[in-house]
Amino acid sequence: FELPDALTYSLLFLGLLASWLFAFPLPFRESLDGSLLAAGGLGLVAGYGNLFLRRFREGRAEVPVGPHQVHMAALFGALWGPGVGMALAFLTWGLSARTGRPVVLPDRMTLPLLPLCLLLAPALGLDLLESLKGSLLAAGGLALAGGLYWAFRPLPEEEEEPVALGYGDVKLLGALGAWLGLYAFLALLLAVFAGAFLGLLLRQRKIPFGPYLALGGVLAFFFGEALWEAYLRFLGLGM
């Protein structure tokens, strides 16, 4: 199950527009950051999951843009900030479009290097949280921009590779982030719990994640603060 791109991006742009014009449901900066951070975070989860399913074999790189650019943006964003991360990834997008061949760094390089860069951030004179934020913002920007491109250009039909998570879910969480801000991660948490519970109950190995993510988004929008406080109390961290 995957929501149509027209619906997902309409939800995203409507949230950003409302935030820009009316500061509703969030100030614009919080809405934009929430969208990019959420999409970037889930995009990286998908990247690591898919790399694991491929047993660390290199996956097919799409032309002109695909997950490889998302992972590159994340790595460069961690080192030099989201602007540089997105700019370098967009540069490879342009070169790939011009040459008709993928101009990317392999996932087997970028994905293992990213956590290493974050671990070494203090030694490199970088703030760990700012590096993490830069990585997620850059990855989210490329994920949503690439998704918008492919919304108007059908993906080439080639042999399917094993995937842990589809990019439809990444785009949906990015759209929810425009409305929820950082509570988009609460929506993701709710979706994971609901999907895991029903998967075990129904004894299904594969479950559609999109409906649970949408449900988590609705719950987080109306009850986000109360649910988060209840979760913290459950962990013994609440007041």
116 closest CA partner among 75, 82, 84:
75
Residue 119 lies in a domain: yes
Q: How confident is the model at residue 76, as a pLDDT?
A: 98
Query: What pLDDT is stored for residue 164 in this prediction?
Result: 44
With b meaning 16 or more CB within 10 Å and e meaning fewer, what string describes 211-224?
ebbbebbebbbeeb
Tell me the residue type at 6: A
User: Is 213 a domain residue?
Assistant: no
Cα–Cα distance between 150 and 118 in angstroms, integer? 30
C-alpha distances (whole Å) from 72 to each of 90, 94, 193 are: 10, 14, 30
DSSP output for 53-75: HTTTPPPPPPSS-SHHHHHHHHH
Q: Residue 202 domain-assigned?
A: no
Torsion angle defined by CA atoms of residues 85, 33, 20 and 93, in that order, rounded to the nearest 10 degrees: 30
Estimate to the nearest angstrom the gap between the alpha carbon of 9 and the chain centroid.
14
Interior/surface letters 171-199, b for 16+ CB within 10 angstroms, e for the rest: bbbbbbbbbbbebbbbbbbbbeebbeeee
Which pLDDT score, from 0 to 100, does residue 165 have?
A: 53
Specify whether the backbone of 81 is left (phi greater than 0), alpha (psi in -120 to 50) or beta.
left
pLDDT tens, residue order, the chain (239 aa): 678 899 999 999 999 999 999 999 999 999 999 999 999 999 999 999 999 988 899 988 889 999 999 999 999 999 999 999 999 999 999 999 999 999 999 999 999 999 999 999 999 999 999 999 999 999 999 999 999 999 888 665 554 554 445 689 999 999 999 999 999 999 999 999 888 887 778 776 677 788 899 999 999 999 999 998 888 888 877 65
Number of residues written out for the chain: 239
Q: Is residue 214 part of a domain?
A: no
9 within a domain of the structure (yes/no):
yes
* pLDDT > 70 in the chain, percent: 92
pLDDT at position 156 is 59
DSSP annotation of 155: P
Considering the domain boundaries, does residue 53 fall inside one?
yes
Contact between 19 and 30 under an 8 Å Cβ cutoff? The reply is yes
Residue at 197 is within a domain: no
Domain region containing 105: 5-180
Look at the chain and report how many structural domains it folds into. 1
Residue 75 domain-assigned?
yes
Largest CA distance in the chain: 58
Alpha-carbon span 218 to 134, nearest angstrom: 27
